[in-house]
Amino acid sequence: MSLEFTHVTLGQRVLFGSGRAAEHLASEVARLGARRVMVIASIAETRIAENVARHVEVTLHYSDISAHVPVEKAEKARAAATNHDIDLLVSVGGGSTTGLAKAIALTSALPIIAIPTTYAGSEATNVWGLTEGARKTTGVDDLVLPATVIYDASLTLSLPVGLSIASGLNGIAHCIDSMWAPRVDPINAALGAEGIRAFSRGLPLIKQDPSDLEGREMALYGAYLSAVAFASAGSGLHHKICHVLGGTWDMPHAETHATVLPYVLAFNAPEAPEAVARIASAFGTNDAGEGLRLLRETLDAPRALQDFGFKAEYIPETVEIILPAIPESNPRKATRGNLAALLAAACAGDDPRILSDDRSET
Ligand code: NAD
């Protein structure tokens, strides 16, 4: 990697502390001088949100949230914010909840305090997403970057183990994909590597004991690093594939990322020696693919896209949508043939190493 680069660090306050979310939220609301607060949390996270906002005067509790932020839900939430003369958005939940707050901020420029309860990482990016019909659109705008992120691992204790692992692997995917994304540089690569280290330590602790606060803290720390690396480096091959799978075939976000990651790593590995060495070292192994394989085995991670509704017959159409979106920066040239082979292997849950071995179409 050349030591000539342009790096942008996004400005955010990050308050980290288990059991301290309510106190941190009250002090941030006061610091920002907000008087009309809208708390956004899904019905399932209502209890967590009410508890976190217990020291704050809340003008509106809002819970009409759907995955991937459908445009009509965004419009409804924007109207609610306007009608209640809201001056601060507080999101408490996973990426879908943060995503709705971002959709409001995009058109209103209202500040956001994000309190994440999964490891998706949306809270630390300036990326928004909206879904219209079966197509998901994303964009970048500093208006949607939360002003403050409040991390409190105790709020993630209720996240089921399976979802915690899939969500954590979604975070590792941000880290690994950053290593060959369009704006990769030594700073975001270093953040990504530390993110892999944090998740590799935290996720096995969560698997062993879901009430382990240290494991949850490491995973949240990893989530922040992964998101900062991703926001800075941009979307690589892995994100382009998962974006199409989620938007076109309505696949679940975290599980799709968790399943596809080893295939993208095996696909790119032969052409990306520097990235692979960095990833291997972060896993504490000599081989990046082996490091990810061992971690996934410990975690009993999701294995095959067919388990989440993807079918082999979808592959040709999926390839046509993904191919034009793949960044120039990708270390291995993707073709119809090798991309179809990647999706076929991920669909069936085959050993990812067949993709590194078969380089006939590179
Ligand atoms: P999610 O927000 O849809 O949450 C998944 C499920 O977990 C939901 O049913 C939710 O109710 C539940 N949940 C959340 N926190 C919980 C907790 N503490 N305890 C129990 N249940 C809990 O899923 P996600 O994976 O967090 O986010 C996915 C969405 O975020 C996708 O739409 C994705 O595109 C978006 N995303 C955006 C960015 C970005 O930078 N803009 C980054 C990552 C993800």
Identical fold, 13-156 and 161-357: no
Q: Count Cβ atoms within 10 A of the Cβ of residue 68 and give its class: 0-12 exposed, 13-18 middle, 19 or more buried.
A: middle
How would you label 205-235 residue by residue, b for 16+ Cβ within 10 Å and e otherwise? bbbeebebbebbbbbbbbbbbbbbbbbbbbb
CA distance 276 to 260: 17
Q: What's the CA gap between 222 and 20, in Å, rounded?
A: 19
The 10 Å CB-count burial string (b at 16+, else e) for 186-203 is: ebbbebbbbbbbbbbbbb
For 147, the token pair is: 């002003």
Kindly report, residue by residue over 173-226, the tens digit of the pLDDT: 999 999 999 999 999 999 999 999 999 999 999 999 999 999 999 999 999 999
Closest atom of ligand 1 to 254 CA is: 25
Residue 178 Cβ inside 6 Å of ligand 1? The answer reads: no
- Alpha helices per DSSP H over the chain: 21-32, 46-52, 71-83, 95-108, 161-178, 186-208, 213-233, 237-249, 253-268, 273-283, 288-299, 315-322, 336-348, 353-357
Bridge pairing between strands 135-140 and 127-132: antiparallel
3-state secondary structure of 106: helix
> Is residue 1 scored above 70 in pLDDT?
no
Q: pLDDT higher for 229 or 361? A: 229
- pLDDT single digits (tens) 83-126: 999 999 999 999 999 999 999 999 999 999 999 999 999 999 99
Mean pLDDT of 56-83: 96
pLDDT given for residue 2 in this prediction: 57
pLDDT above 60: residue 362: no
118 alpha carbon – ligand 1 mean position (Å): 6
Domain ranges of the chain: 13-156, 161-357
**Contact predicate 23/52, CB 8 Å:** no
CATH of domain 161-357: 1.20.1090.10
> In what helix (H) or strand (E) does residue 138 lie, and over which residues does it extend?
strand 135-140
**Residue 358 in this model has a pLDDT that exceeds 90:** no
* Closest CA to ligand 1's atom 16: 159
Q: What percent of the chain has pLDDT over 70?
A: 98
Rounded to the nearest angstrom, the distance between the alpha carbon of 120 and the centre of ligand 1 is 6
Q: What is the largest CA-CA distance in the chain?
A: 63
Q: Whose CA is nearest to atom 35 of ligand 1?
A: 95
Q: Which of 92, 122, 230 maximizes ligand 1 atoms within 8 Å of its Cβ, making it the mutation to test the pocket?
A: 122
Q: Model confidence over 21-54: pLDDT tens digits?
A: 999 999 999 999 999 999 999 999 999 999 999 9
State mean pLDDT over 120-145. Answer: 92
pLDDT of residue 68: 86
Ligand 1 site, residue 94, Cβ cutoff 6 A: yes
Ligand 1 within 6 A of CB of 120: yes
What mean pLDDT comes out for the span 158-167? 96
Cα(246)–Cα(136) distance, integer angstroms: 8
Short-list 51, 42, 104, 47, CA closest to 77? 104
Q: Which residues contact 66 (CB under 8 A, 6 or more apart)?
A: 73, 96
- CATH numeric code, 13-156: 3.40.50.1970
Q: Identify the residue whose C-alpha is closest to ligand 1 atom 34.
A: 68
C-alpha 10 to ligand 1 mean position (Å): 22
Nearest atom in ligand 1 to 48's CA = 18
pLDDT class for 247, splitting at 50, 70, 90?
confident
Check: CB of residue 196 under 8 Å from CB of residue 119.
Answer: no
